[in-house]
Amino acid sequence: MALEKYLKELILQTGPISMAEFMQLALSHPEYGYYKTREPFGLKGDFTTSPEISQMFGELIGIWCVDIWYKMGCPKDIQLIEIGPGRGTLMADLLRITRHIPDFHDSISVSMVETSQRLCEIQRDKIGNLHPRINWVANISDLAMKPLILVCNELFDALPIHQYVKQNAKWHEKMLGVNKSGELEFTLSPCAFSPSPNDETKDGSVVEICPLAKVIIEEIASRVKEYSGAALIIDYGYVKCEYKNTLSALSKHTHSDILKSIGMADISAHVDFMALGKVIVGKNVEVYGAISQGEFLRNLGIEVRADKLKENASEKQKADINSALQRLVGNGEKQMGELFKVLSLASDGIVPEGF
């Protein structure tokens, strides 16, 4: 496999690499990276995200956005932003449902922040004719300086993390090296640092740190504060750190070995919502959540929306709507209601719905 060969050569030349560098290359290497080459989403892909499960998800987020816009006083020139839009399904459902509020559509311009050129093309095909003003940028810092309503689903879990493992009462960074037989192998950096005095974690504990998440959330918070608006962040994650490894690879809806099929499987880590929240505190924006996705979607009325959709549906369609609803709000291990969390930040005086 090309990417495995590339990693081995890189490590032999430069020494072991961090988990963050490994994740970055596995997902986004310009030639062999997962997002550049594979179709990750949907039944035929490797994983299914909430917008791909049901139109209800994007529709409710659309209504959430309109509510924010009303609360902002219906500004006439505002950007509606999605970061990491995947196949563009959330934005498509959002734009379709909000068409019924022409003043909202007339006031927004849509900005899609996406790093994968391949996904940009798919997004263009899907939403290109749903709004007259849509642009694509690769980086959040390229966005216009104006009021914003921003959403992202399953962006942060795809961002590269560093991992630190406690061994013999010291913290070591986990690295990827090459062993004597020439195979990729996880190692711990020989450099170590002592725990802080109040650190009671045991040997074997793992801490995960995502510097890029911090950069992105800080940029979002400073824009919300500066230009007014709100942001909604939804992801697979936790509020209380359990000091364990959450990095996993997913291929064809099944967990696979991270070092097998590098570049062919999705790699993600659970998002530390406590850490995200901490970055924003003190930035002069209000923080809401994180609460569970199930609670958030119920608060927004997903059950009412499901009933409405079922009114004119066949028996088969009704069963599909019920099972999608369960997937989105249910508490089980295969359901997203409890595992996924929702966090919002808003400028002064704007209280987002759903919390």
Spatial separation of the C-alpha atoms in residues 187 and 191, rounded to whole Å: 12
Maximum alpha-carbon separation in the chain: 65
* Nearer of residues 178 and 267 to ligand SAH, judged by Cβ: 267
Question: Rounded to the nearest whole angstrom, what is the least distance from the CB of residue 158 to ligand SAH in the complex?
Answer: 4
Question: Rounded to the nearest whole angstrom, what is the least distance from the CB of residue 270 to ligand SAH in the complex?
Answer: 14
Question: Rounded to the nearest whole angstrom, what is the least distance from the CB of residue 240 to ligand SAH in the complex?
Answer: 24
* Omega cis (within 30) before 92: no
For residues 161 and 209, the answer to whether their CB atoms sit within 8 Å is yes
The helix/strand/coil state of 352 is coil
* Nearer of residues 35 and 104 to ligand SAH, judged by Cβ: 35
Question: Rounded to the nearest whole angstrom, what is the least distance from the CB of residue 272 to ligand SAH in the complex?
Answer: 17
* Nearer of residues 41 and 273 to ligand SAH, judged by Cβ: 41
| Footprint (CB under 6 A) of ligand SAH, residues 28-87 | 35, 41, 49, 51-52, 83-86
Spatial separation of the C-alpha atoms in residues 308 and 260, rounded to whole Å: 45
Spatial separation of the C-alpha atoms in residues 303 and 329, rounded to whole Å: 10
Range list of H helices, the chain: 2-14, 19-28, 34-37, 50-53, 55-71, 89-98, 102-107, 117-127, 211-227, 273-280, 293-299, 302-311, 315-329
Tokens of residue 316, six digits: 């088969």
- Residue 279: how many other CB atoms lie within 10 Å: 17
Spatial separation of the C-alpha atoms in residues 164 and 117, rounded to whole Å: 33
* Nearer of residues 43 and 191 to ligand SAH, judged by Cβ: 43
* Nearer of residues 325 and 350 to ligand SAH, judged by Cβ: 325
Query: How many residues sit in the footprint of ligand SAH (CB under 6 A)?
Result: 19
Question: Rounded to the nearest whole angstrom, what is the least distance from the CB of residue 160 to ligand SAH in the complex?
Answer: 9
Question: Rounded to the nearest whole angstrom, what is the least distance from the CB of residue 50 to ligand SAH in the complex?
Answer: 6
| Footprint (CB under 6 A) of ligand SAH, residues 108-127 | 113-116, 119
Question: Rounded to the nearest whole angstrom, what is the least distance from the CB of residue 35 to ligand SAH in the complex?
Answer: 4
340 binds ligand SAH (CB under 6 A): no
* Nearer of residues 26 and 83 to ligand SAH, judged by Cβ: 83
For residues 310 and 318, the answer to whether their CB atoms sit within 8 Å is yes
* Nearer of residues 185 and 219 to ligand SAH, judged by Cβ: 219
- Residues in contact with ligand SAH by the rule CB under 6 A: 35, 41, 49, 51-52, 83-86, 90, 113-116, 119, 153-155, 158
